[in-house]
Chain A
Amino acid sequence: KNQVEQSPQSLIILEGKNCTLQCNYTVSPFSNLRWYKQDTGRGPVSLTIMTFSENTKSNGRYTATLDADTKQSSLHITASQLSDSASYICVVSARDRRGNEKLTFGTGTRLTIIP
C-alpha cells in the first residue's frame, strides 16, 4: 500500500532558527515528490517538485532534498520567519499502468514560529 509518513507531527521553533522536516514514503512506481505549504484556512501552495533524478531543489529559504534509494525527502527552512508558520505537506506521485498520476498525501507537519 502506498504510504507517506511525515515527522515530526508538529514543531515549534524560534524566529530566525533553521529547521528540517522529514518525509518517508513507500510509493511505487515513483513519479515525483512535492512539498506544499498550507496556511491556516487556505489551500496548499506548491513549494517544490522533484523527479527521480533530482536530489535537491531550492525555492528561496526552502530547500528540499530527495533520496530515491532510501525513499526519503526533507524540507529545510533557513532563517525562519513568522510567516513560515503553516502546515507542510509531502505528496508523492505514482503512475498507474495507464499513465495516470495517483497522489499519496502525508498528514503534514504543523510548524509554528515564535518571536
Chain B
Amino acid sequence: DAGVIQSPRHEVTEMGQEVTLRCKPISGHDYLFWYRQTMMRGLELLIYFNNNVPIDDSGMPEDRFSAKMPNASFSTLKIQPSEPRDSAVYFCASSFGTGGYTFGSGTRLTVV
C-alpha cells in the first residue's frame, strides 16, 4: 500500500487566492482526518470524517476553510480566500476504526 497520499507537497500562493489540498486515504480505512501543524501551536485537528460523513469540524478555524469527502478514496481541504496566517503544514491521516492513524507526508502551504 502506498500509504496516505497528499498533494501537492508544497504550495506557495498569494493572499486572497483559493487553495485546495488533496488527500487519498489508505484503501479500506473508514476514518479520515485533516490536521494543521505550526511551530507555535503544534498539531491541531481541523475536521474528521467517518465513512465520508463529517463528524467533527469544530477545529476548522473559520468559514474560509471547508472540507469535502465525496467518496471513500478522496478528500479535499479548501481555503478561500487564503491569508498569510494560514501558512502551515497540513496533514491528512486515515485509520480503520479508531486505532492507529497513518499520516500522509503533508502539504507545506505558504501564503505570501
Q: Which residues of A contact B (CB under 8 A)?
A: 34, 41-46, 49, 89, 93, 100-103, 105-108
A34 — which chain B residues lie within 8 A by C-beta?
100
Complex-state Cα separation, A68 to B91, whole angstroms? 29
Q: Measured between C-beta atoms, what is the minimum distance from B100 to chain A in Å? A: 4
A93–B98 CB distance below 8 A? yes
The CA of A85 and the CA of B105, in the complex, are separated in Å by 17
CB distance from B31 to the nearest CB of A (A): 9
| Residues of chain A within 8 A of B100, CB atoms compared | 34, 46, 49
Tell me the B residues contacting A by CB distance below 8 Å: 4, 41-45, 55-56, 91, 93, 98-106
Task: Give every chain B residue within 8 A of A41 (Cβ-Cβ).
Answer: 105-106
B42 touches A43 (CB 8 A): no
Does the CB pair A89–B43 fall under 8 Å? yes
Q: Please state if A43 and B98 are interface contacts (CB–CB under 8 Å).
A: no
Q: Contact at A43–B99, with CB atoms within 8 Å?
A: no
Q: Is the interface of A mostly helix, strand, loop or mixed?
A: strand
CA distance A103 to B34 in the complex (A): 12
- Contact: B55 with A100, CB < 8 Å? yes
Question: Contact partner of A45 among B41, B44, B103, CB < 8 A?
Answer: B103
Interface centre among A34, A43, A89 (most CB of B within 10 A): A43
Contacts of B106 in A (CB 8 A): 41-43
- Show 16 A/B contacts (Cβ-Cβ < 8 Å), sorted by A: A41-B105, A42-B106, A43-B103, A43-B105, A44-B43, A46-B101, A89-B42, A89-B43, A100-B56, A101-B98, A102-B45, A102-B56, A105-B42, A105-B44, A105-B45, A106-B42
User: Which residues of chain B have C-beta atoms less than 8 A from A46's C-beta?
Assistant: 100-102
Q: Do B42 and A108 touch (CB < 8 A)?
A: yes
A14 to chain B, nearest CB (A): 26
Interfacial chain B residues near A103, Cβ < 8 Å: 45
User: Which residues on the A side are within 8 Å of B42 (C-beta)?
Assistant: 89, 105-108
On whether A42 and B105 interact (CB within 8 A), knowing A49-B99, A100-B55, the answer reads yes
Q: How far is the CB of A34 from chain B (nearest CB, A)?
A: 8
A6 to B89, CA, bound (A): 21
